[in-house]
Structure 1
């Protein structure tokens, strides 16, 4: 049976094997979404409990008998199934299922997902290092920043949560000095508009590439106002968005320094390729969020003209890959595109 004749005949959710992963810890994702057609299976893992449950109880049934290669049609069907609830958790669940279907498509075609998205995907994808649990005010921070920056990443990103504006600026500029290059910082939604304006007035633009998520919500009006009031503050935003129309307006009005959306949280690879295109048309660089690292690598390889370095979460990503064979580890700031069919993912059992 060829790809064109293949339909989804089973969708299931598996719990990952704790004997392989080691004892689970808080925050670990413990599930895999599996999609089957004609005896072949596609998989996406790891997935959190709530989106996995939504796939198991609602979305999987809606996907049955749908053509494997009709990704746009399947996305529309799943969005219709959830209706007004197709945001947040709903998009996350749709994205996990969508990625599993792309993996199945790759297995049926004998091609990596990036090769399904593009005729000539890049073989190497640049990555940047993200270490958001490090306290930059700790005495040991200097060694951690220097060691991470010395591994050849495109650049590094560090967390700067609530503090006075002067301290935030000082820590950001110290991190850039230790790294030997400008750094990205992630405010994790903790600054708010007043502190963002205060930081913008003090910040050395040569030290910071961008400030990610300075506001507590990705509110279009709030970010538009912030853009007008702080022309000197380079902002990155996107991981909490879930609507293409929102994306187009935000990119046009706010002109972020980087568009940092998540390839699964947005609704999956099918939706993500449109978001990459919209950002490219708007002239906004894409730096895909690292939570969905493997799909992000395939997207960046397929569209290297539009997608730059992908986030590699140096603490969390190795934990996510514990139950997978063929894991991706950066070397000299790049990861190699998997040459195996699909996403290149195999769940260890």
Structure 2
């Protein structure tokens, strides 16, 4: 089998009303998605998505004519291209989709088959006042979710803690709450300085009083000692990070120095499926957990799901969900059906060959911009 072509569809969905994501410097008025298709001489086509794939045209020839099943070779080639361009992990996703289709098995089965479904948490996007956040949390629980992640703005900490307290009071101890401080990395144009370690220590101690399950990205990635301080001071709170950590050596250093409780590398944005699987297994061998970031679209959700289910990641899986601003229909506008949890609040691994991606070709044509 040979790769005959790699094509990109660039899509843009207009958002009205806009999404006011906590980590964005400006409200998001559109949502972009790049669909990667890897075509083969045997008629099997793999599909991937996630990062923008900007600049990939210069590297297409590295893969044309190659056997798509040679995944280790392709991962190494993508890493060399990443060094000189963007982050081309959506290509690896499409290659795994082909591998699963050729094997006639779900990719999660090929990666270990540790679970056929994983409990999901509703991952919020916007900063909402307490009453509104409680309303969304109650709706999420009605749909089956057993946990929700709440964003806190470093400049509005009191508002954020009040929101966490309100959700805890309204939903009780049986509903898990995660908190994301979004301090490890920045969107383009966001030049604000992260809260210092003293301030962050106080925030985490106060969140511990509300029995939060984990605190995510409390510090910049380079503050390894600070992460370790937070873990040591707050034994009842897990510390999570790593979603956009692109450096394999740096992630290995995190593991060697036991920096985190939960590792969150996104397989389509940060480190790829093959490498994420390896790092996840290393984390688990150290009695730490892997639960990947999955804030892209439904294809990115599925790619992360197959890796997490394959290796037995958990204890929860991120499911971007914050209606009315962020719904499965908006997130998965390119799919025939949006990815959704079952009534038990679990995300089931599609039991079809590959990743289980089914595009809505009419939507692809409608929203194509290039």
Q: TM-score, normalised by structure 1?
A: 0.83
Note if contact 2:248-2:271 (Cα within 8 Å) is conserved in structure 1.
no
Q: Secondary structure at the match of 2:213?
A: strand
2:264 maps to 260
* CA-CA distance at 1:255 after TM superposition: 4.0
Report the TM-score, using the length of structure 2 for normalisation: 0.79
Alignment-derived partner of residue 103 in structure 1: 97
Distance in 1 (alpha carbons) for counterparts of 2:195 and 2:139: 28
Q: Deviations over 1:93-139 (max 9, x none)?
A: 2x111001111222222222112223x453222211111214144x4
| Structure 1 residues 66 and 125: alpha-carbon distance in aligned structure 2, compared to 1, 3 A threshold | same
> What whole-Å deviation, never above 9, does each CA across 1:48-69 have from its counterpart, x for those lacking one?
5xx32232x2332211222212
Aligned residue for 1:240, secondary structure, equals coil
Structure 2 residue runs of 5 or longer lacking an equivalent are 17-27, 184-193, 362-370
- Tell me how many residue pairs correspond in the alignment: 328
Identify if the C-alpha distance between structure 1 residues 185 and 309 changes in structure 2 by more than 3 Å, giving closer, same or farther: same
For 2:142 and 2:253, locate their aligned partners in 1 and report how far apart those are by CA, in whole Å.
Answer: 38
The 8 Å contact of residues 260 and 287 in structure 1, kept in 2 or not, is answered as: yes
Tell me if 1:327 matches 2:338. yes
Question: How far apart, in 1, do the equivalents of 2:316 and 2:235 lie?
Answer: 24
CA distance in 2, matches of 1:40, 1:182: 42
Partner of 1:3: none
Match of 2:9 among 9, 14, 18: 14
Q: Which residue of 2 aligns with 1:115?
A: 109
Unmatched 5+ stretches in structure 1? 1-5
CA contact (8 A) 2:15 2:31 kept: no
> Are residue 52 (structure 1) and residue 53 (structure 2) matched?
yes
User: Structure 1 residues 28 and 22 mapped into 2: Cα distance closer, same or farther (>3 Å)?
Assistant: closer
SS across alignment from 1:140: helix
Q: Distance in 1 between matches of 2:108 and 2:337?
A: 16
| Closer, same or farther: CA 267–67 of 1 in aligned 2, 3 Å | farther
Counterpart of 2:21 in structure 1 is: none
**Residues in 2 aligned to 1:42 and 1:115: alpha-carbon distance in whole angstroms:** 17
CA distance in 2, matches of 1:177, 1:191: 27
What are the superposed Cα offsets for residues 295-322 of structure 1, whole Å, 9 maximum, x if unpaired? 1111122122x44321001125432311
CA contact (8 A) 1:173 1:207 kept: no
The aligned counterpart of 1:172 is: 164
Question: Contact (CA 8 Å) 1:218, 1:240: kept in 2 or not?
Answer: no
Deviations 1:316-349 (A, max 9, x none): 5432311112432112211221122211112222
- Greater share of helix: 1
Closer, same or farther: CA 231–204 of 1 in aligned 2, 3 Å: closer
Q: CA shift at 1:214, angstroms?
A: 1.4
Q: 1:101 to 1:77 in 2, by over 3 A?
A: same
2:151 to 140, 159, 169: 159
User: For residues 112 and 164 of structure 1, what CA distance do their matches in structure 2 show?
Assistant: 44
Is the CA contact 1:192–1:216 (under 8 Å) kept in the aligned structure 2?
no
Which residue number corresponds to residue 213 of structure 2? 209
